[in-house]
Chains A and B, each alone.
Chain A
Amino acid sequence: MSQKPSKGIPSPRDSRRDFLKQSAVLTGIALTPKAAITAAENQWDEKLADAIEKIPLNIEINGIQKSLSVEPRVTLLDLLREQLNLTGTKKGCDYGQCGACTVHVNGKRVLSCLTLAVMHDGEKVTTIEGLAKGDELHPMQEAFIKHDGFQCGYCTSGQIMSAVACIREGHAGSETEIREFMSGNLCRCGAYPNIVDAIVEVKKQGKNI
């Protein structure tokens, strides 16, 4: 299994095996042939790889500093939803086409499905769960309720995160501009006009959001 092909570029899998061969743990196990067989049967190499291939990640999420260890292939979205139980951020396509997964990274809107978690070491992430101050809703959340800027609620987190960013970016100057700069956030229930009304109202309040 661990033998390299005689020619060509070694696959990642092969290099993983080579790396593992040098690891003290596996060498120890490999001392006895019986143990080596057991290791292979139980796929210990893979299990060890699991521990070794995770990368440390220091990330601030909703004001809380987290020291995590994550696989490089984990998207920021899946980290939030599946590992941190922050399910307010939604998965609607996984291709960056629907905007449901919009979060703020260092204050700017980012599609969390299109970015790997490990790319955000040392950065600050705000999700919908971190937008309100305790029980006090963010003005955009209030406005979405007042103007009924949603129906099923599934795109709502992304719409709100995007809406806040839209104003911060200075792209909420008119209804037309809002429509343009919010067009990356899809709403299949079609609550668009109400969402625009909510953004217009928050923009008019002129608060520092």
Chain B
Amino acid sequence: MENFFDKVAGEPIDRVDGRMKVTGKAKYAAEYELPDMAYAVLVSSSIAKGTIRRVDAKAALRAPGVLAVISHENSIKVPAHADNEHPTEPPTGGQPFRAFYNNKVYFNGQPVAVVVADTYERARHAAMLVQVEYDKEKHTTSFEENIGSARIPSQVKKNPKSSLADYDRGEVDGYKKAPVVVEAEYLLPNEMHNPMELQAITAHWTADDKLTVYDKVQGTKPTQAAFAKEWKLPVQNVKVIAEFVGGAFGNGLHQWPHETAAIIAAKMVKRPVKLMLTREQMFYMVGYRPRTWQKVAIGANPDGKIVGIRHEAIGQTSSYEDFTESVLQQTRMMYTSPNVSTRYRLLPLDVSTPIWMRGPGEATGAFALESAMDELAFKLNIDPIQLRLINHTDVDPDNGLPWSTKYLKECIQLGAEKIGWSNRSMKPGGRRSGEWLVGYGMGVGCFGAHRGAAAVRARLMANGTLQFQSAVTDIGPGTGTAMVQIASGQIGISPDKITFQLGNSDFPQAPNQGGSATVATVGSAVVAACNVLKEKLLGMAASAEKRFTDVKMEDVLFSSGQISLKNSPSVGVAYTDILKKENLPEIDIIQDSKPGTEGSKYSKYSFSVHFAEVHVHALTGRVKVNKVVSCADAGTIVNKKTAGNQIIGGVAGGIGMALQEDAVMDHRFGRYITKDFAEYHIPVHADVPHVDVIFIDKPDYIIDPMGTKGLGEIAIIGVAPAIANAIFNASGKRIRELPITVDKLV
């Protein structure tokens, strides 16, 4: 295979959409100006469980500018809602919430009505006038009080071979036989994605059976398919536009109630309707990282060799959908252990459905596993790095397959040097800087390196520019930039002559932007399209330059917008000349790409190691993350600047997980008391230190032709335990419940 790695080489070019973003020209879901726009504001339930007795809309309907007050009492019927089947492709099991379908209340904050008016202010005011009467039922929202009701996920009942099923390698609970055992429980709270852009949709029925939505989603095609199914429309009658997405971190991977509410409203008032959630509403209906209890037991020999691991997890879900995530996978494959047992259960509560949040499952599981590894290292009096190296495995112990690539040892070594691991005291509390206790910790992360199927449209124009289109979205990582660079490297056209349009369901197929798979998936289609264009160009080259007659692909170079002969580089012909000679205004192709079967012979993962230097104030317990070093084995790095930024962002997210984020519910009402940024804390400038990012930057051609592996998830997976372990090293306090707030340290 051609060495793609050399061509792409991680040039840190500026983002192709950077100018749009710094000038305010980038348009997000609620920023399209449509004629006769109406505004919708949701009315949320004030009870967590029960039925709606009556919706009194009289006062609201009398308020100026109000066009409609819609609830289950008067809503048009959404065609697929009565089918009582899962209307979307399943990110979850069960029946997703159906807006205004019936009088049932499943969770507090559930949309029970939507008010539509001619201005935002009027809709907001009228929404306050809607009176809803309920017949309350006793709700169950407390995780701790109901943990005994945890059960096997419905997905496992349907498919006993599911990766979520009970798993035993070797002897069940083999860890018990080991001479040294650590065993502890860990708890992660509900965490909210809270992207800066509030969830928003602008819904526009352009005809009775034609719907256009400008929506904050992570995939235009999956959203198109979901709405087409929900409204029983031909897929091509639904158009989804998401040109810019103001962050998502997973909460754009499911259809949510407000989207259907806006679409219903637009249909009923026969005007385009814009609906933007409030920050408080963001806590109730667009998913979250679920509260998860875990118990990890590791048994080892005195030399550090692991004998067995047991890892149990119980995650929260809603009463109507089973949301599952991969909490336990890392435990099965990270360390060589002859005996591994995992158990995964769900606890349904009267709350809304969770959804994947950055590093889903794995980030949760890694907090427990990597904390437990640190506890074991301490108990054995072995350096935590050494413990990882002792239990390093060169084949995936879960399935016996070799890794496609794995440079975890290199990551550990480079990261340890950079953070100054040699300064770490083996004894907790052994280092001080004035009033601050100084500690070092590390955590390992991994995430499956996925590649899916996608297609792109490529148009090589007579003026030498190259235009791509893909339905893929970009929630922030810099998809367009990476695609332009991949194309540039592949076909030899400078990046400033290449454009990559995305975020429109009219464009060729692409999956959701999620699971760190976009570059591998869509990038592969870009490479495939470039290869087709190159063949076409070479096939026509002879008409512009005779010396290209019967020349083979391996004898030529494509660079600087021309084909040249490898053995006499002065003989070249420009792409523009070829098109001119052929009298072609453009070459226009649609090319798809999907992974082959080769990959099934390997176990494919990205890896990361995060190191944190943390200061804990000896008297007040205040924690400062002083320095973070993250080293990633993510294959080829297409753009070191945007990729580095992604790692930094993951670290920031991990700092939030470790120290701040906690959605606290008042169980008397089933309502969050932390419902805005004053109460639900996310990292601010002052919380995030300089982050040193190191990339191994070695290609993995098993995954895709660029050699890339995913990056977005491993940026956060392992960060929280690195910080928790550093806090232990600094203070001697082992905190097993996130977030690690001051009250837990004093």
Contact = CB atoms under 8 A, between A and B. Distances in A.
Interface of A: 43, 46-47, 49-50, 71, 73-74, 78, 81-82, 85-95, 97-98, 100, 127-129, 131-132, 137, 141, 144-146, 148, 150-157, 160, 178-180, 182-196
Nearest to B655: A190
Contacts, number: 186
Interface string B6-40: 00000000110111111111111011010000010
B22 A156 contact: yes
Contacts of B30: 87, 91
B595 interface: no
Contacts of A74: 121
B685 interface: yes
A179 B125 CA distance: 38
B120 interface: yes
Given A97-B676, A150-B18, 14 more contacts: A78-B120, A87-B27, A89-B24, A90-B197, A93-B677, A97-B678, A129-B25, A148-B645, A153-B244, A154-B28, A178-B685, A192-B684, A195-B685, A196-B685
B195 A154 contact: yes
B196 A155 contact: yes
Contact of A128 (B23, B195, B476): B23
Contacts of A187: 196, 652
A50 B600 CA distance: 67
Contacts of A144: 18, 22
Nearest to A152: B476
B17 A193 contact: no
Nearest to B193: A188
B686 interface: yes
A144 B63 CA distance: 45
Interface in B601-649: 641-642, 644-646, 648-649
Interface string B701-723: 00000000000000000000000
Contacts of A46: 62-64
A185 B685 contact: yes
A20 B641 CA distance: 62
Contacts of A151: 247, 476-478, 642, 645-646, 649
B247 A152 contact: yes
Contacts of B652: 187, 189-190, 192
Most chain B CB within 10 A, of A47, A90, A127, A196, is at: A90
Contacts of B119: 82
A169 to B, nearest CB: 15
Contacts of B678: 95, 97
A92 B121 contact: no
Nearest to B249: A188
A193 to B, nearest CB: 6
A25 to B, nearest CB: 16
Interface in B203-245: 244-245
Contacts of A178: 685
B653 interface: yes
A157 B24 contact: yes
Given A97-B677, A98-B677, A193-B691, A153 B17 contact: yes
Contacts of B686: 179-180, 183
A151 B15 CA distance: 9
Nearest to A143: B22
Contacts of B31: 81, 87
Contacts of A193: 648, 688-691
Contacts of B198: 91-93
Contact of A129 (B23, B276, B478, B689): B23
Nearest to A158: B196
Nearest to B274: A82
Contacts of A94: 278-279
A150 to B, nearest CB: 6
Nearest to A198: B22
B695 to A, nearest CB: 15
Interface in B244-264: 244-249
B290 interface: no
Contact of A87 (B24, B642, B651): B24
| 10 A-B pairs with the lowest CB-CB distances in the bound complex, closest first | A88-B24, A190-B652, A154-B246, A153-B21, A151-B476, A190-B649, A152-B476, A128-B24, A97-B677, A87-B31
B120 A190 contact: no
A85 B33 contact: yes
Contacts of B690: 193
21 contacts: A46-B63, A47-B64, A85-B33, A91-B30, A91-B276, A98-B196, A127-B24, A129-B23, A129-B24, A144-B18, A153-B21, A154-B246, A154-B247, A186-B684, A188-B196, A188-B653, A188-B682, A191-B649, A192-B685, A192-B688, A193-B689
A146 B648 contact: no
B360 interface: no
B279 A95 contact: yes
Contacts of B683: 190, 192
Interface residues of B, number: 68
B262 to A, nearest CB: 16
Contacts of A146: 14
B523 interface: no
Contacts of B684: 183-186, 192
B650 interface: yes
A13 B534 CA distance: 72
Contact of A137 (B22, B245, B645): B22
Contacts of B33: 85
Contacts of A43: 62, 64
A45 B653 CA distance: 52
Nearest to A49: B64
B18, B26, B478, most chain A CB atoms within 10 A = B18
A186 B649 contact: no
Interface string B113-133: 000000111000100000000
Interface string B45-61: 00000000000000000
A98 B119 CA distance: 24
B402 interface: no
B21 A150 contact: yes
Contacts of A191: 645, 648-649
Nearest to B17: A153
Interface string B274-299: 00101100000000000000000000
Q: Which of B21, B119, B650, B690 has the most CB of A within 10 A?
A: B21
B475 interface: yes
B475 A152 contact: yes
Nearest to A93: B279
A141 B193 CA distance: 27
B93 interface: no
Nearest to B19: A145
A87 B648 CA distance: 28
B194 interface: yes
Contacts of B649: 151, 189-191
Interface string B635-675: 00000011011101111110000000000000000000000
Contacts of B478: 151
Given A182-B685, A186-B677, A152 B23 contact: no
Nearest to A92: B196
Contacts of B125: 73
Contacts of B599: none
Nearest to A185: B685
A151 to B, nearest CB: 3
B65 interface: yes
B24 A137 contact: no
B677 A137 contact: no
Interface in B338-367: none
Contacts of A49: 64
A145 B18 contact: yes
A8 to B, nearest CB: 19
Contacts of A160: 22
